[in-house]
Amino acid sequence: MNKVNLNKFNNSNYKPAGKLKIILWYFTNMFLFKIMLPIPSSIKVRILKLFGGAIGSAVVIKPNVNIKYPWLLSIGDNCWIGENVWIDNLARVTIENNVCLSQGAYLLTGGHDYKKESFDLILGGIVLEDGVWVGAKATVCPNVRCKSHSVLAVGSVATKDLDKYGVYQGNPALFKRKRELV
């Protein structure tokens, strides 16, 4: 039986941007986003746009947010990104309008092929449609679409698409009830 051999891991074909851009973003992210200082959201939005992010209006970005690559990020209007959110976007992440990412939410777009001894990198984008709420410490996995107004409850893990207006909870997240707005 074969065994994992991390010496065989090779992701040299994954090039999200040039080295200079990645290095510049690394330090910008470290000193302006991943800190607890209350830097105004308007400044953060301008910086994300400078790095190629497509960012809408009235976006709130709280302190200590980690964004892997802003050029692979699209955020619509009236979105809230809470403290300690990690947008680990090795692949495209699309956040539509009126989406709330609560404290510590994690958007994960990469993983590894555990069936290969070389532990190959696997990527998959994420889409959060209008009105989605990702609860505190909840995780959205690669290739997941959270459909319009779905809710991923606190600490839950979405490994599959969430239906519109569904409330999901658990690991893996399971449908619990319909979201009814009043």
Residue 124 has which token pair?
Answer: 């998959």
Any idea what the CATH number is for the domain that residue 115 is in? 2.160.10.10
39-45 average pLDDT score: 97
| Cα gap 130→117, rounded to integer Å | 40
How much is the pLDDT for 108? Answer: 98
> Quick one: DSSP state of residue 161?
P
Is 17 within the bounds of a domain? no
φ, ψ (nearest 5 deg) of residue 110 = -135, 155
Is 27 within the bounds of a domain? no
Is 37 within the bounds of a domain? no
How much is the pLDDT for 182? Answer: 95
Is 71 within the bounds of a domain? yes
- Which range marks the domain in which residue 150 is found? 54-178
pTM of the model: 0.96
Query: Which tens digits make up the pLDDT trace of 76-90?
Result: 999 999 999 999 999
